[in-house]
Amino acid sequence: MLLCNETVTLVHAVRGDDGETYACTQVTGASWYGKAVTVPSADGARVQNTYKVRIPADSMPPGVTPCTGDYLVRGTVTQITRAPADFAAREYFLISAVGDNRRGRLQHWAVSGA
């Protein structure tokens, strides 16, 4: 895949009896694309950033799958205690759609959100 030169961190919430903890998984070799779109709101229209990230299948660590509701952060994040407050200064998004395109020639995960 072209332009797969980004490092991203997949942040997954793990809910347990002691509260919520976060698992951070670094992925190298992803492509990151973001753009601003206009969406309707109660006050007329507002601008919102949307993102599309493609992660080659061989770049994703074994046993890790992006899921709806996870966060994807551009760059490396090692420890999270409160999401998204701990990485609010970085470029990130809440995953709203995951496409499993691991068949054919260009096998990858397609992850998008806002």
| Contact between 26 and 2 (Cβ < 8 Å) | no
pLDDT of residue 17: 87
* DSSP letter (8 states) at residue 14: E
Verdict on whether the full-model pTM lies above 0.85: yes
Concatenate the DSSP letters of all residues of 26-54 into one string.
EEEEEEEEEEEEEEEETTEEEEEEEEEEE
Q: Regarding beta strands 6-16 and 108-113, do their DSSP bridges make them parallel or antiparallel, or are they unpaired?
A: unpaired
- The pLDDT tens digits of the residues spanning 77-110 come to 998 999 999 999 999 999 999 999 999 899 999 9
C-alpha span between 48 and 56 (Å, rounded): 26
